[in-house]
A and B are shown apart, each in its own frame.
Chain A
Amino acid sequence: MEIFVIIGVVALLAIFVVAQYNRLVRLNISVDEAFAQIEVQLKRRADLIPNLVETVKGYASHEQSTFDAVVAARAKATSATGVADVSAADGMLTQALRGLLAVAEAYPDLKASSNFLSLQEELSTTENKVAFARQFYNDNVRALNEAVATIPSSFFAGFAKVSAREFYEVEDPQSREVPKVNF
Chain B
Amino acid sequence: MSANFRNAQGANKRKTYFLLVAMGLLTWVVAYAALTYFGAGTTTFVVPLAVGISLVGVWGSYYGSDKLVLTMTGARVIQREDNPELFNVIEEVVIASGLPMPKVAIVEDSAPNAFATGRNPEHALIAFTTRILEVMDRDELQGVIAHELAHVANRDTLVSAVAATTAGAIAILSDFLTRMMWFGGGRDRREGNGNPFLLIVSLVIMLLAPIAAMLLRSAISRRRESLADATAVAFTRNPAGLRRALETLAGDSTVVRQRSNAVAHIWIESPLDGKSVSQLFATHPPIQERIETLRAMESLGPNQ
- On whether the beta carbons of A132 and B93 are closer than 8 Å, the reply is yes
Please indicate the chain A residues that have their CB under 8 angstroms from the CB of B93 in the complex: 132
Q: Which of A41, A121, A136 contacts B98 (CB 8 A)?
A: A136
Is the C-beta of B188 less than 8 angstroms from some C-beta in chain A?
A: no
- On whether the beta carbons of B89 and A41 are closer than 8 Å, the reply is no
- On whether the beta carbons of A133 and B91 are closer than 8 Å, the reply is no
- On whether the beta carbons of A37 and B95 are closer than 8 Å, the reply is yes
- On whether the beta carbons of B98 and A128 are closer than 8 Å, the reply is no
- On whether the beta carbons of B98 and A34 are closer than 8 Å, the reply is yes
Which A residues from 122 to 151 make CB contacts under 8 A with B?
Answer: 122, 125, 128-129, 132-133, 135-136, 140
Is the C-beta of B21 less than 8 angstroms from some C-beta in chain A?
A: no
- On whether the beta carbons of A121 and B88 are closer than 8 Å, the reply is yes
- On whether the beta carbons of A133 and B95 are closer than 8 Å, the reply is yes
Q: For the complex, what is the distance from the CA of A127 to the CA of B235, rounded to whole Å? A: 16
Which B residues from 93 to 134 make CB contacts under 8 A with A?
Answer: 93, 95-98
B215 to chain A, nearest CB (A): 36
Q: For the complex, what is the distance from the CA of A122 to the CA of B92, rounded to whole Å? A: 12
Interface of B is mostly: helix
- On whether the beta carbons of B92 and A129 are closer than 8 Å, the reply is yes
B159 to chain A, nearest CB (A): 23
User: Could you say which of B92, B95, B98, B237 has the most chain A C-beta atoms within 10 Å of its C-beta?
Assistant: B95
Please indicate the chain B residues that have their CB under 8 angstroms from the CB of A129 in the complex: 91-92, 95
- Given contacts A125-B91, A129-B91, are A136 and B96 in contact (CB under 8 A)? yes
Q: For the complex, what is the distance from the CA of A2 to the CA of B104, rounded to whole Å? A: 58
- On whether the beta carbons of B88 and A132 are closer than 8 Å, the reply is no
Interface of A is mostly: helix
Proximity string of chain B (259-280) to chain A, C-beta cutoff 8 Å, 1 when within and 0 when not = 0000000000000000000000
Please indicate the chain B residues that have their CB under 8 angstroms from the CB of A122 in the complex: 88
A129 to chain B, nearest CB (A): 5
Please indicate the chain B residues that have their CB under 8 angstroms from the CB of A41 in the complex: 95
Please indicate the chain B residues that have their CB under 8 angstroms from the CB of A34 in the complex: 98
Chain A residue nearest to B236 in the complex (CB): A132
- On whether the beta carbons of B98 and A125 are closer than 8 Å, the reply is no
Is the C-beta of B247 less than 8 angstroms from some C-beta in chain A?
A: no
Q: For the complex, what is the distance from the CA of A111 to the CA of B77, rounded to whole Å? A: 34
A70 to chain B, nearest CB (A): 22
- On whether the beta carbons of B92 and A125 are closer than 8 Å, the reply is yes
Chain B residue nearest to A34 in the complex (CB): B98
B198 to chain A, nearest CB (A): 41
Please indicate the chain A residues that have their CB under 8 angstroms from the CB of B96 in the complex: 132, 135-136
Is the C-beta of B137 less than 8 angstroms from some C-beta in chain A?
A: no
Q: For the complex, what is the distance from the CA of A34 to the CA of B97, rounded to whole Å? A: 11
Which B residues from 157 to 216 make CB contacts under 8 A with A?
Answer: none
Q: For the complex, what is the distance from the CA of A135 to the CA of B222, rounded to whole Å? A: 28
B180 to chain A, nearest CB (A): 45
Please indicate the chain A residues that have their CB under 8 angstroms from the CB of B292 in the complex: none
Further pairs besides A41-B95, A140-B98: 18, Cβ < 8 Å: A30-B98, A121-B85, A122-B88, A125-B88, A125-B91, A128-B92, A129-B91, A129-B92, A129-B95, A132-B92, A132-B93, A132-B95, A132-B96, A132-B235, A136-B95, A136-B96, A136-B97, A136-B98
Q: What are 5 residue pairs bridging A and B, where the CB atoms are less than 8 Å apart in the complex?
A: A125-B88, A125-B92, A129-B91, A129-B92, A132-B93
- Give me the interface of B with A, judged by CB distance under 8 Å: 85, 88-89, 91-93, 95-98, 235, 237
- Give me the interface of A with B, judged by CB distance under 8 Å: 30, 34, 37, 41, 121-122, 125, 128-129, 132-133, 135-136, 140
- The 9 A-B pairs of least Cβ separation, nearest first, read A132-B96, A125-B88, A132-B95, A128-B92, A133-B95, A129-B95, A129-B92, A136-B98, A132-B92
